[in-house]
Amino acid sequence: MRDYLSRPESDKNKTDMNKILVTGSTGFIGQRLCAVLQERGLSVREAVRNTSTVARDAVAVGAIDEQTNWAPALKDVSVIIHLAGRAHVMHDDSADPLAAYRRVNVAGTSRLAQMAAAAGVRRLVFVSSIKVNGEATDEQPFTEMDTPAPRDPYGISKWEAEEELKAIGRETGLEIVVVRPSLVYGSGVKGNFLSLMRLVHKGIPLPVAGCDNRRSLLGLENFVDFLATCVDHPASPGQTFVLSDGEDLSTSELIRHLASAMGRPARLFSIPPAWLQLAANLFGKSGVYQRLCGSLRVDSSHARRVLGWVPPQTVDAGLVSAVRTFLQWSGE
């Protein structure tokens, strides 16, 4: 049985609780989100591991797990946007990866929600992952109505966290909003997207001209705009949203867009996808093949319909922004 923290009746109708708490505020998404919220005149507090490098309104909470003391960060907070968690890693060397993900992403998130409910917080916006839906799509894109099918420890932990939050919401009245973003790109992006930009920038020929796949992406500006919309939109509580820009690209199209933004040629050649898949399987790189040639489409029409949300930035503009920052980092 969950050890729910009761929400004091006297806290439910507080009118002076107007801060937005952002966890994971020092990351790629969090930094831009905090800036956008502040640009819109909202009061933002950041929950960080330590405050030594943060000059803004921030509270140190230390490591996130089942024992984290969120109380100092929750004072006068009305809404939480929970970005922090154990991020997806390609080569996890933990003895028990699922247990490691669960401690942060499930137990840590549950602890935050319980303490938030007790403190009178009104709403918690949880950034989950499209990996809750699965790793790939065939004919139909992912939607909120799909039966969850997470395949790896990260996706499993995000799904379990969603379920835990919904249970806490039913028990305490804390409003829960779940957002499952597709791959996020933009200024300052890292990970696989940064690796792809490096390959394109170096002019390395890539054998994906024959891959007829479709992948959904989510621009950073679009993502933070959507999260900001969820803060006070009356229709967002109780909803789960899968999210993308709405402009799907093949891998070869994406590379051509990146190359064009860099002012470089797109060096593509074709190897039959079946051969690529065979080679990837032989070398234990089936995941690489899936990311390059597999499809993962997301239908975010539910978000547009329920919240009236329109992505403010086109894919082209988002990719140009990502490339511009990359070139600055590269000294060009």
Q: What is the distance between the alpha carbons of residues 94 and 60, in angstroms, rounded to a whole number?
A: 26
Which amino acid is it at 51? T
- Active-site choice (101, 154, 185, 289): 154
Radius of gyration over alpha carbons of the chain, in Å? 20
Q: What is the distance between the alpha carbons of residues 219 and 313, in angstroms, rounded to a whole number?
A: 7
Which amino acid is it at 154? Y
Q: What is the distance between the alpha carbons of residues 176 and 195, in angstroms, rounded to a whole number?
A: 34
Q: Give the count of alpha carbons within 13 A of 38, CB side only.
A: 14
Q: What is the distance between the alpha carbons of residues 218 and 315, in angstroms, rounded to a whole number?
A: 8
Helices assigned H by DSSP within 173-310: 191-202, 220-232, 251-262, 273-282, 286-293, 301-307
The yes-or-no answer on residue 154 being catalytic is yes
* Alpha carbon 114 to its chain's center: 22
Q: What is the distance between the alpha carbons of residues 42 and 44, in angstroms, rounded to a whole number?
A: 6
Q: What is the distance between the alpha carbons of residues 197 and 66, in angstroms, rounded to a whole number?
A: 38
Closest to 78 in 3D by CA, of 32, 29, 116? 116
- Residue partners of 9: CB distance under 8 A and separation at least 6: none
Q: For residue 99, is it left (φ>0), alpha (ψ between -120 and 50) or beta?
A: alpha
Question: Which residues are marked as active site?
Answer: 154
